[in-house]
């Protein structure tokens, strides 16, 4: 039996719309990178269906009053950082993708919080890829019944080698959209009631937009990790 992941958030979605996938590929890869390897990251599919999720331990729901009720707004989801460095923003975005708290945050609140991290330039934003990391409502409810939450720690962030090579060959290409590919590694720790939990290493390649004079924003993520 293949090993199941502990996280419901760690893999890239396989449900990108055709138009959005082509646009992201065209901007981030063709116009900016010109690298065949990067084309594969943003256009290939990494399997069918949704990812495996962390164990939702069977059992009764928590007694009334023991689990905090979600507050109005975005719950435990942090606001996006006001930074202009794509590496710093990608590090923070990776923590966002690998963290959640069903004890204090509803699924809708979590999605609203994540949406605030996206670029406002609709021609580039790939919300489908990001929102696809969140479990469906039924699974989120099961996780909440078990007070499941996850925290994340980032190890490092770097521009993939093909990105750096392509940028060196054509430095002006990035000025079209100022979208950077960034690979982030780290670790996710997950826990649920009655002492359950575990940890796994994580890695993701993100597309981050950082226009001059503006704070960075999240664009998309790749279906596989770029070295």
Return the structure tokens found at 208.
Answer: 């981050």
Task: Write down the pLDDT at residue 4.
Answer: 37
E strand or H helix at 187, and its extent?
Answer: strand 179-192
Task: Write down the pLDDT at residue 203.
Answer: 97
List the one residue out of 105, 51, 58 whose CA is nearest residue 77.
105
List the one residue out of 102, 101, 134 whose CA is nearest residue 12.
134
Task: Write down the pLDDT at residue 52.
Answer: 32
| Residues 183, 203 contacting (CB under 8 angstroms) | yes
Task: Write down the pLDDT at residue 47.
Answer: 32
Q: In whole angstroms, how far apart are CA 159 and each of 29, 129, 204? A: 14, 20, 12
Task: Write down the pLDDT at residue 19.
Answer: 45
Entry pTM:
0.73
List the one residue out of 71, 33, 78, 90 whose CA is nearest residue 217.
90
Task: Write down the pLDDT at residue 1.
Answer: 41
Tokens 């901007």 correspond to what residue? 27
| Residues 209, 23 contacting (CB under 8 angstroms) | no
At 48, phi and psi to the nearest 5? -110, 150
Task: Write down the pLDDT at residue 218.
Answer: 97
Q: In whole angstroms, how far apart are CA 72 and each of 95, 101, 103? A: 22, 15, 14
List the one residue out of 171, 178, 167, 188 whose CA is nearest residue 208.
178
Mean pLDDT in consecutive groups of 10 residues from the start of the chain, 227 residues = 39 38 43 38 35 34 33 77 97 96 95 96 92 94 96 96 87 89 96 93 96 96 89
Task: Write down the pLDDT at residue 73.
Answer: 67
């Amino acid at each position: 039996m293949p090993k199941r992941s502990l996280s419901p958030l760690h893999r890239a979605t396989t449900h990108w719309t055709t138009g959005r996938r082509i646009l992201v590929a065209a901007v981030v890869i063709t116009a900016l990178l010109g690298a065949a390897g990067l084309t594969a990251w943003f256009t290939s599919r990494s399997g069918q269906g949704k990812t495996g999720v962390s164990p939702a331990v069977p059992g009764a729901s928590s007694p009334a009053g023991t689990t905090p009720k979600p507050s109005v707004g975005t719950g435990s989801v942090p606001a996006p950082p006001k930074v202009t460095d794509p590496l710093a923003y990608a590090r923070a975005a990776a923590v966002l993708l690998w963290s959640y708290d069903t004890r204090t945050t509803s699924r809708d609140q979590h999605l609203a919080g994540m949406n605030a991290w996206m670029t406002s330039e609709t021609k580039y934003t790939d919300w489908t890829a990001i929102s696809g990391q969140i479990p469906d409502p039924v699974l989120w409810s099961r996780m909440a019944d078990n007070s499941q939450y996850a925290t994340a720690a980032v190890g490092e962030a770097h521009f993939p080698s093909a990105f750096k090579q392509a940028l060196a060959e054509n430095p002006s290409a990035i000025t079209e959209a100022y979208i950077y590919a960034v690979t982030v590694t780290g670790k996710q720790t997950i826990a649920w009631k009655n002492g359950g939990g575990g940890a796994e290493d994580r890695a993701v390649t993100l597309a981050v937009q950082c226009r001059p004079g503006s704070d960075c924003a999240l664009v998309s993520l790749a279906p596989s990790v770029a070295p």
